[in-house]
Amino acid sequence: MKISKLAKSYRIENGRYFRLKDVDPSDTAHFHSEEHAKEQIQKDVDCLEDLQAKLYAQDRWSLLLIFQATDAAGKDGTIKHVMSGVNPEGCQVTSFKTPSDKELQHDFLWRTTVNLPERGHIGIFNRSYYEEVLVVRVHPAVLDAQKLPSEVVTKNIWKERFEDIHAFERHMARNGTVIRKFFLHLSKKEQKKRFLARLDEPEKHWKFSEADVREREYWDDYQGAYEEMIQNTASKHAPWYVVPADNKWFTHLVVSAAIVETLEELNLSYPKVDAAKLREIKAARKTLSK
């Protein structure tokens, strides 16, 4: 498998026939170890640095990267590792927690919409509006707290939210925001291993949350919700990448390859200056040379 095709093998543009069980969380394609992949990951990180500089200078497109996953799947680490070379001035990361009282006074897309990236920027959502068809679906009591009129909370609410998300992402794509979505697919066995590491290693105690352990009781419910999310919202303009996450280094490899591939497809370049600007440059050079 060529590295240019690596990300595409995990890309879902039409989720109609997608089944989560068809993706092995421990898959590493033809890469045998972290050492085997390290050189390619660094190449992608370096390439991303160059592409982001052109994206920022051109100031036409924006890129939105959405990360969804079960607890301990490695979202934070992936974002930190893959985006290590980009200029912070052109990149913003937003993590979405439990909605605030103010956010609950608006529709479910409001709090993420106000955090969308500007033109020329890369925006990263650590969790997103997809929580509204995941956590809210698995825990119906959360929906009760959203102050919705009873008339709109029908048996079709999840289908309607999928439709709203699809329409929103199509709208954004038509206005120059490129969207790429990553579901980090972690096995239940590996999640348990990572939770135990948080308990056994003092430097990881801060990551421990009793709520994370409780959520394991809903594992099957979440897996079903993730599968339907991908089935109903994967599209050509906003594809999902279902990334095997049992090996963190492989997760980094696939995500970095997908981002580089996406930016390369935009044919980015530094803006060309007109004749007037060239005359200004010539005059400035003459003045500075005296």
pLDDT at 3: 55
* DSSP assignment string, 87-144: -GGGEEEEE--SPPTTGGGS-TTHHHHTTPPPTT-EEEEES-GGGGGTHHHH-HHHHH
Consecutive 10-residue runs of the chain (290 residues): their mean pLDDT? 76 96 96 89 94 96 98 96 91 94 94 97 98 96 91 96 98 98 98 92 79 92 98 98 97 96 95 80 84
Q: What is the pLDDT of residue 4?
A: 62
> Dmax of the chain from CA atoms?
77
Q: How far apart are CA 47 and CA 38, in angstroms?
A: 14
Closest CA to 185 of 125, 229, 138, 139: 229
Spell out the domain ranges in the chain. 3-289
Helix 34-58 with 248-264: angle, nearest 10 deg: 30
Angstrom distance (rounded) from CA 20 to CA 43: 30
Superfamily of domain 3-289: P-loop containing nucleotide triphosphate hydrolases (3.40.50.300)
Question: Could you tell me the CA-to-CA distances from 218 to 112, 149, 158, 212, 225 in Å, in that order?
Answer: 26, 28, 18, 10, 11
What pLDDT, on a 0 to 100 scale, did the predictor assign at position 213?
87
Please say whether the beta carbons of 232 and 162 come within 8 A. yes
49-88 core/surface letters (b: 16 or more CB in 10 A; e: else):
eebbebbbebeebbbbbbbbbbbbbbbeebbebbbeebee
Q: Show the CA angle centred on residue 211, arms to residues 140 and 124, nearest 5°.
A: 80
